[in-house]
Amino acid sequence: MCGPEKVDPVGAESRGPGRERLRSSGKIKMATEVPARMHILRSKAPLRMSFAGGGTDVSPYPEERGGAVLNCTIDKFAYCTLEYDLGESGPASVESLDFDQKIRYEMPSDLVYNGELDLAKAALKVLLPNAGNHGISDRLHLFLHSDAPAGTGLGGSSAMCVALVGALQRYLREPVTSYEVAELAYRIEREELRLKGGRQDQYTAAFGGFNFMEFERDRTIVNPLKIQPDVLNELAYRLLLCYTGTVHSSEQIIERQQRNYTERKADTVEALDATKQLAIEMKNELLRGNLDQMGRLLDTGWQFKKKFTEGISNPQVDRLYARAREAGALGGKLLGAGGGGYILLFCDFERRANVEKAVVAAGGRVSTFSLELNGLQTWGVRASPGSLI
């Protein structure tokens, strides 16, 4: 999924549930009346920024040496709406409002993984194996959309998977913990679909907020960090989120990283070990309020990350980062597995404006964001004849 992207997917107008915009063939559908027997559930899961430790959550490294990641969520979300007609059997459907894709099926055997809405298909197979004409008695309709597409380094695919789990578990009326939601999402992505990746994204979207995560062979530990509001506000003010203009496909990058590690290539193993230790150091600096040192450590971590495998950076990323550093950024890193997407930059107050100008001049786009302290949220919508959604 590589190639130029002409617009900033996060900078686009929000399509939150309060004013959901249904897009089809470039046109916006207006709100529609709700049938008398229709019930509506919604969920949203936040996207994330990883500060340090990314890559140490990718198997088999955490099982053998233990991984550690410092990350937080931002106010960009993946959304899922589940409409169901109570007591009316019939084909189930899934629709992506971002990509104008739609599937209908009557039996789980109809759900073939072919690159179209596979995440939703896998979630339905795992959580609702009997959905369709000959299964559960309710007719289901799923609608999906996101504030950022996959391939931008913000954990969008896993956030969507967590949103799907949240909506479907609420429909089933099965109470689950944040740990259970994350593990279900991991099972859907990594085991059912066999997608390459780590564990941090599912846990980050499920828990939300600022977390220090530890990954071991048989368990994951999420440590929520209690950070003073003054420190959080100052940190958010000093961060710049810059879109590089390209998206990435993380599968090949992660596969090469895994191969390098299993072959015990020294550069990869040493860089992963150093990245894990850096996550611990950065967490400690953050808790002490030493933000300048945290910014410098971002640069250190970026240099380690580029040693995981080839293809993590590219000339466009290198040029943007170099211009930002020349303009005064203390540090930064490419978010996600690498190859494109978003760069996170840390700036002094005095140099922030200059850094932003330098990034834009180099072809980047700066996106506004706020830190988000909530994880997965689900809710019901009161639907009555004639009401609008």
The model's pLDDT over 258-277, given as tens digits with 9 standing for 90+, comes to 999 999 999 999 999 999 99
Query: How many other C-beta atoms lie within 10 A of the C-beta of residue 242?
Result: 29
The model's pLDDT over 55-86, given as tens digits with 9 standing for 90+, comes to 999 999 999 999 999 999 999 999 999 999 88
The model's pLDDT over 329-360, given as tens digits with 9 standing for 90+, comes to 999 999 998 888 999 999 998 999 999 999 99
Residue 16 pLDDT greater than 90, yes or no: no
* Average pLDDT value for residue range 180-191: 97
201 is catalytic: yes
Task: Provide the 8-state DSSP code for 35.
Answer: P
| Type and span of the H or E element at 202 | helix 200-207
Which amino acid type is present at position 21?
R
154 vs 138, more confident = 154
CA 159 to each of CA 10, 43, 70, 163, 246: distance values in angstroms, whole numbers, following the listed order: 14, 11, 17, 6, 20
Residue 90 pLDDT greater than 80, yes or no: no
Alpha-carbon distance of 112 to 236, in angstroms, equals 43
Secondary structure in 3-state letters for 324-373: HHHCCEEEEEECCCCCCCEEEEEECCCCHHHHHHHHHHCCCEEECCCEEC
Which pLDDT belongs to residue 130?
A: 67
What lies within 8 Å, CB to CB, of 264 at 6+ separation is: none
354 vs 35, more confident = 354
pTM beyond 0.85, yes or no: yes
- Cα 320 vs. chain centroid, distance in angstroms? 23
Residue 133 pLDDT greater than 50, yes or no: no
Q: Shortest CA distance to 53 belongs to which of 203, 157, 179?
A: 203
Kindly state the percentage of the chain with pLDDT values over 70. 87
Q: Is residue 30 very low, low, confident or very high in pLDDT (cuts 50, 70, 90)?
A: very low
Which pLDDT belongs to residue 249?
A: 74
Residue 7 pLDDT greater than 50, yes or no: no
Residue 247 has which token pair?
Answer: 């998206």
Question: Which among 147, 201, 273, 299 is annotated as catalytic?
Answer: 201
Residue 24 pLDDT greater than 80, yes or no: no
Query: C-alpha angle with apex 325: 320 to 327, nearest 5 degrees?
Result: 95
